[in-house]
A and B are shown apart, each in its own frame.
Chain A
Amino acid sequence: MKGVLVFVAMLTLLAGCDDRALLPYAREMGETALMRTVGLDAGEGGVVFTAATGSRAGGQEALVLSASGTSIPTAALAVQSLGDSYVYYGHADQLLVGEEQAARGLAELLDYLAREPQLSLGAQMWVVFGGSAAQAIETAGERGVAQRLDQLNTDGELGAANIGRSAAQLMTVLARQGSTYLPALDLQPAREGDGGQGSKQTLLPGGYAIVRRGRLVCRTDTEVSRGIELMEGENAGSVVDLSLEDGTRVSLVQDAARTVCRPVFQGDELTGLDVTCDLTVRVAQTGRRLKPKELEWLRQRLEQMQGERIVRAIELGQYWDADFLDLERRTQMARPAWKRHIQKQWDEVFRALSLRVEVRGRVERSYGMMDGAE
């Protein structure tokens, strides 16, 4: 037993205690406001830092605190002094950035996230368009916006909303390829049936924000957004509506997409990209039984449409000289032996690379009430 006491006494030396704090500081959870969502906007001469709890048990309203400062830590400290509880960011897993702040740059924010022990780099990030991040946080009112963002994130994983990006992913990708995309949110006036439940504004998925060298450069439209999702192979569940020649509307649900990007060389010179996308869809809705010829027509139409989307997504990257689809690494993976050639030439030739996109669609048989009907 004496040995145990000596052993414990020796182990306490590992506690990292110094002359300022012998013991770690304990906080009671009952006196803590657990922030779920953090928003960052550009302010006059600095930033506006907003933090919100999720919906709280016992019918309590979500707590939203906002303060401005010349830097992010200053604003965050100002938020700490507000409210009646200790503001704790250990559970902040949602990070909204206003459009203007994103255009100013995300480097400072990422640096702050990496250095602040409470904030996690695992937080999911969105760029807010049509309003500020603070407004987006306040859209849900007393219910808090956290649940809505949680759902958007889950939908994204299921292919029903934008592809999610965490701060850690953003940091990694920016360090590797200099450009990437972040899911965008649209702050729009609320309307009946959008789930806003009385709020004046509502948050909707709104494509992607393209970030180049840490700054927002543009926002994608719907076609480019679908192209990005096809390239990433994370479009399961998205729907394509097509009309047959006789006006019959057919809805196709995409089950899987796998895109491979190969480099095209002329001699040692990288001249183009050969993109092949294998796409599997199934018929989700149709008014009658489809004939084989019609299925073939649908397949061809689908291939054409999705091919154009992919081309538009890649061309957007070429326009901004932003390889946000990570094409360089993809081509290197497809041709490992040519890795150094690609690496050496990529920055120079990326914008001028010719594209050959091939989509190989497959419409899987599906059965419905109309099957067997004459």
Chain B
Amino acid sequence: MRVGVFETKGPVDGPHPRKEPRLTQPLTVEGISDVFRDCVDFKKRELCVGDDPARRLTLCYLEGVVRNERVSDYILRPIAQNGELARVGEEKMFALMRDGALYNLTATERTTTDQAATDLIAGFCLIFFPGRREVLSFFVGTEEKRSVGQPENEPSVKGARDSFVETVRTNTAMVRRRLRAPELRIAEHVVGRQTLTPVDVLWLEGIADPVVVERVQERIAKMDIDGIQTTGNLEEYIIDRLDTPFPLVASTQRPDWFCGGLLEGRVGVLCEGQPMGWLLPGTFGQFFQTNQDKTSNWMLATAVRALRWVCMFITLLLPALYVAVVTFQPEVIPVKLAMSIAAAKREVPFSTVFEVLIMLVSFEVLQEAGLRLPGPIGQTVSILGGLVVGSAAVEARIVSPAVLITVAMAGIAGYTMPNQDFDGALRLWRFGLTILASIWGLFGLVLGGAALIYHLAGLESFGQPYLSGGDRVARGPLPLEKWRERVRLPLNRRNQR
């Protein structure tokens, strides 16, 4: 993996000892009890099989992780009521229970302590047979999860309103409901030594480029970390480059958008605990698109997409352009505007670049404060901050009105970006361009723009150039959009008759 400035000079794969097997205790009741020693939620119970008090089994589970009714109805009741289990030999009883005497979809035979302990944590219960090295594991988990809600970060005006939740299996089910093709493949990897988080890779066989699928799976399989707690834990391990603020994978909360990506030939990733999915590879143009584009009229969608591109340039360039022309090239400003700016600037004690940087930083501070506080308080802070930093600063002649308008326009234009990570990258580059413009004027701005293009042109996402032209500004009428983008190398380019 290329990581640019973060590249280490030594070997990338340094020693990171992993104990195999992880647990050395024997697979016995005593052994598993030792594994979960000092754990108040670890429970074990001895059971009589049928009406024979001499034949005993031991049930182990983690309280809170399993659902009591499931244990009672599907494990305890058949063991207690099925007389045949008591009459047959132990070998036969083990086989009967494994093969269907207990009412459970998943009955698995476990032979190692590692497997058994992992099952307990995942919501299984274990049945130990005296004298046997194998145990039976039955899924009786609570499956407590947040219900499917609306995508808060990607609201829908017209179209589906469901959103991914934190449970990966629910998310895969939502995808399955939309993509009913048997060719939908879902491969699972367990990532994280401590979290053992399931990470699923989804793709449509026959459409997605198998090389990308293989590359994604390889990178996820190579992840050897303590655990996945945040989205960054996954993104930063699978992308091609770390020395860029631009997102190289697109994330979404919306199953419909996710499925649309799979249909385009992209590869999807879902992760337990993360209410979102990732679509790979990520390309520059992709971050100007939303699912709404396909619910609107094609002309309107094209206009809105074009507007987003314009807003991208505004949010990126406007403060820098203002600094450059006001400080170095005022002749390009229309006369009346120039006179107005000059008059307003006369009372302001700071230099133009300092004014702009003050306002840009204030804007970021306000945004951060608004995000971190609970909703109503955040709104209040935003309004108060807007008033104080805005009108009060202008009235106090700390900043000139033109600077305030410039920074506000740049900020608001940034909010039209559908992807907040992408907006964040633009905001970061905005500072750099403003500083360059304050040093060299328009030349500095051009210089920064060239550097940005150079940087973007050097980026790749899973082998696909970041600036590849697969995602067009214009969206044609859907009946005429008969081909998947060639740049993603789909196995089957035709998407309709």
Q: Is B346 part of the contact surface with A, judged by Cβ < 8 Å? A: yes
Q: Determine the chain A residues whose CB is within 8 A of the CB of B458 once the complex forms.
A: 3
Q: Is A120 part of the contact surface with B, judged by Cβ < 8 Å? A: yes
* A30 touching B327, Cβ below 8 Å: no
Interface residues of A toward B: which range? 20 to 34
* A28 touching B447, Cβ below 8 Å: no
Instruction: Give the interface segment out of B13-21, B121-129, B331-339, B468-476.
Output: B331-339
Q: Which of B4, B335, B347, B441 has the most CB of A within 10 A?
A: B335
How far is B441's CA from A15's CA once the two chains are assembled, in angstroms? Answer: 10
A-B contact pairs, 11 of them (CB 8 A): A3-B455, A8-B448, A12-B440, A29-B338, A30-B342, A34-B339, A53-B339, A56-B343, A58-B346, A91-B335, A118-B331
How far is B450's CA from A90's CA once the two chains are assembled, in angstroms? Answer: 27
Q: Is B328 part of the contact surface with A, judged by Cβ < 8 Å? A: yes
Question: In chain B, what residue has the closest Cβ to A33?
Answer: B342
Q: Top 3 nearest A-B pairs by Cβ distance? A: A90-B331, A57-B343, A30-B345
Q: Determine the chain B residues whose CB is within 8 A of the CB of A60 once the complex forms.
A: 343
* A3 touching B454, Cβ below 8 Å: yes
Question: Among A15, A30, A54, which residue has its beta carbon within 8 angstroms of that of B443?
Answer: A15
* B451 touching A8, Cβ below 8 Å: yes
Q: Is A320 part of the contact surface with B, judged by Cβ < 8 Å? A: no
* B343 touching A2, Cβ below 8 Å: no
Q: Which of B243, B345, B346, B348 has the most CB of A within 10 A?
A: B346
Question: In chain B, what residue has the closest Cβ to A89?
Answer: B331
How far is B441's CA from A91's CA once the two chains are assembled, in angstroms? Answer: 18
Q: Determine the chain A residues whose CB is within 8 A of the CB of B454 once the complex forms.
A: 3-4, 7
How far is B469's CA from A28's CA once the two chains are assembled, in angstroms? Answer: 42
Q: Determine the chain B residues whose CB is within 8 A of the CB of A1 once the complex forms.
A: 4-5, 243-244, 455
Interfacial residues of chain B within 444-462, with CB under 8 A of chain A in the complex? 447-448, 450-451, 454-455, 458
How far is B345's CA from A27's CA once the two chains are assembled, in angstroms? Answer: 12
Q: Is B311 part of the contact surface with A, judged by Cβ < 8 Å? A: no
Q: Is A93 part of the contact surface with B, judged by Cβ < 8 Å? A: yes
Question: Among B327, B341, B455, which residue has its beta carbon within 8 angstroms of that of A26?
Answer: B327
How far is B341's CA from A275's CA once the two chains are assembled, in angstroms? Answer: 51
Minimum C-beta distance from B11 to chain A (A): 21
**Other contacts beyond A2-B4, A27-B327: 9, CB < 8 A:** A3-B458, A4-B455, A8-B451, A15-B440, A15-B447, A28-B345, A34-B338, A56-B339, A56-B343
Interfacial residues of chain A within 1-31, with CB under 8 A of chain B in the complex? 1-4, 7-8, 11-12, 14-15, 23-24, 26-31
Q: Is A362 part of the contact surface with B, judged by Cβ < 8 Å? A: no
Question: In chain A, what residue has the closest Cβ to B458?
Answer: A3
Q: Determine the chain A residues whose CB is within 8 A of the CB of B344 once the complex forms.
A: 30, 57
Q: What total of A-B pairs shows CB separation below 8 Å?
A: 94
Question: Among A4, A28, A57, A93, which residue has its beta carbon within 8 angstroms of that of B327?
Answer: A28
Q: Is B159 part of the contact surface with A, judged by Cβ < 8 Å? A: no
Interfacial residues of chain A within 93-131, with CB under 8 A of chain B in the complex? 93, 118, 120
Minimum C-beta distance from A83 to chain B (A): 14
Interface residues as binary, B458-496 with A (CB distance below 8 Å gives 1, 0 otherwise): 100000000000000000000000000000000000000
Interface residues as binary, A278-305 with B (CB distance below 8 Å gives 1, 0 otherwise): 0000000000000000000000000000
How far is B346's CA from A29's CA once the two chains are assembled, in angstroms? Answer: 8
Q: Determine the chain A residues whose CB is within 8 A of the CB of B328 once the complex forms.
A: 24, 26-27
Q: Determine the chain B residues whose CB is within 8 A of the CB of A34 once the complex forms.
A: 330, 335, 338-339, 342
Q: Which of A12, A15, A26, A29 has the most CB of B within 10 A?
A: A29
A54/B5 contact (C-beta < 8 A), A12-B447, A26-B327 known? no
How far is B429's CA from A8's CA once the two chains are assembled, in angstroms? Answer: 14
* A91 touching B338, Cβ below 8 Å: yes
Question: In chain B, what residue has the closest Cβ to A32?
Answer: B342
How far is B453's CA from A7's CA once the two chains are assembled, in angstroms? Answer: 11
* B330 touching A91, Cβ below 8 Å: yes
* A30 touching B441, Cβ below 8 Å: no
Q: Is A346 part of the contact surface with B, judged by Cβ < 8 Å? A: no
How far is B335's CA from A93's CA once the two chains are assembled, in angstroms? Answer: 9
Q: Is A226 part of the contact surface with B, judged by Cβ < 8 Å? A: no
Question: Among A7, A11, A28, A57, which residue has its beta carbon within 8 angstroms of that of B339?
Answer: A57
* A54 touching B343, Cβ below 8 Å: no
Q: Determine the chain B residues whose CB is within 8 A of the CB of A32 once the complex forms.
A: 330, 342
Q: Determine the chain A residues whose CB is within 8 A of the CB of B97 once the complex forms.
A: none
Q: Is A338 part of the contact surface with B, judged by Cβ < 8 Å? A: no
* A28 touching B352, Cβ below 8 Å: yes
Question: In chain A, what residue has the closest Cβ to B4?
Answer: A1
Q: Determine the chain A residues whose CB is within 8 A of the CB of B348 once the complex forms.
A: 30
Minimum C-beta distance from A131 to chain B (A): 25
Question: In chain B, what residue has the closest Cβ to A53?
Answer: B339
Minimum C-beta distance from A306 to chain B (A): 37
* B450 touching A7, Cβ below 8 Å: yes
Q: Is A165 part of the contact surface with B, judged by Cβ < 8 Å? A: no
Q: Determine the chain B residues whose CB is within 8 A of the CB of A28 once the complex forms.
A: 327, 345, 351-352
Minimum C-beta distance from B244 to chain A (A): 8
Minimum C-beta distance from A16 to chain B (A): 8
How far is B343's CA from A278's CA once the two chains are assembled, in angstroms? Answer: 50
Minimum C-beta distance from B349 to chain A (A): 9
Question: Among A23, A31, A56, A118, which residue has its beta carbon within 8 angstroms of that of B440?
Answer: A23
Q: Is B439 part of the contact surface with A, judged by Cβ < 8 Å? A: yes
How far is B450's CA from A57's CA once the two chains are assembled, in angstroms? Answer: 38
Q: Is A36 part of the contact surface with B, judged by Cβ < 8 Å? A: yes
Minimum C-beta distance from B460 to chain A (A): 14
Question: Among A3, A12, A29, A118, which residue has its beta carbon within 8 angstroms of that of B342?
Answer: A29
Q: Determine the chain B residues whose CB is within 8 A of the CB of A90 once the complex forms.
A: 330-331
Interfacial residues of chain A within 226-261, with CB under 8 A of chain B in the complex? none
Q: Is B320 part of the contact surface with A, judged by Cβ < 8 Å? A: no
Interfacial residues of chain A within 28-54, with CB under 8 A of chain B in the complex? 28-32, 34, 36, 53-54
How far is B440's CA from A36's CA once the two chains are assembled, in angstroms? Answer: 26
Question: Among B335, B341, B441, which residue has its beta carbon within 8 angstroms of that of A36?
Answer: B335
A29/B352 contact (C-beta < 8 A), A4-B455, A11-B451, A91-B335 known? yes
Q: Determine the chain B residues whose CB is within 8 A of the CB of A56 once the complex forms.
A: 339, 342-343
* A88 touching B443, Cβ below 8 Å: no
Interfacial residues of chain B within 221-241, with CB under 8 A of chain A in the complex? none
Q: Determine the chain A residues whose CB is within 8 A of the CB of B441 once the complex forms.
A: 24, 26
Interfacial residues of chain A within 160-182, with CB under 8 A of chain B in the complex? none
Minimum C-beta distance from A146 to chain B (A): 8
How far is B331's CA from A350's CA once the two chains are assembled, in angstroms? Answer: 43
Minimum C-beta distance from A87 to chain B (A): 13
Q: Is B340 part of the contact surface with A, judged by Cβ < 8 Å? A: yes
Q: Determine the chain B residues whose CB is within 8 A of the CB of A27 once the complex forms.
A: 327-328, 330
Interfacial residues of chain B within 1-29, with CB under 8 A of chain A in the complex? 4-5
Q: Determine the chain B residues whose CB is within 8 A of the CB of A29 once the complex forms.
A: 326-327, 330, 338, 341-342, 345, 352
Q: Determine the chain A residues whose CB is within 8 A of the CB of B440 once the complex forms.
A: 12, 15, 23-24
How far is B342's CA from A58's CA once the two chains are assembled, in angstroms? Answer: 11
* A91 touching B346, Cβ below 8 Å: no
How far is B327's CA from A118's CA once the two chains are assembled, in angstroms? Answer: 14
Q: Determine the chain B residues whose CB is within 8 A of the CB of A26 once the complex forms.
A: 327-328, 351, 438, 441
Question: In chain A, what residue has the closest Cβ to B327?
Answer: A26
How far is B180's CA from A21's CA once the two chains are assembled, in angstroms? Answer: 68
Question: Among A2, A7, A53, A88, which residue has its beta carbon within 8 angstroms of that of B5?
Answer: A2
Question: Among B330, B335, B342, B447, which residue has its beta carbon within 8 angstroms of that of A11?
Answer: B447
* B346 touching A30, Cβ below 8 Å: yes
Q: Which of A23, A30, A93 has the most CB of B within 10 A?
A: A30
Question: Among A8, A31, A58, A118, which residue has its beta carbon within 8 angstroms of that of B343?
Answer: A58
Q: Determine the chain B residues whose CB is within 8 A of the CB of A91 once the complex forms.
A: 330-331, 335, 338-339
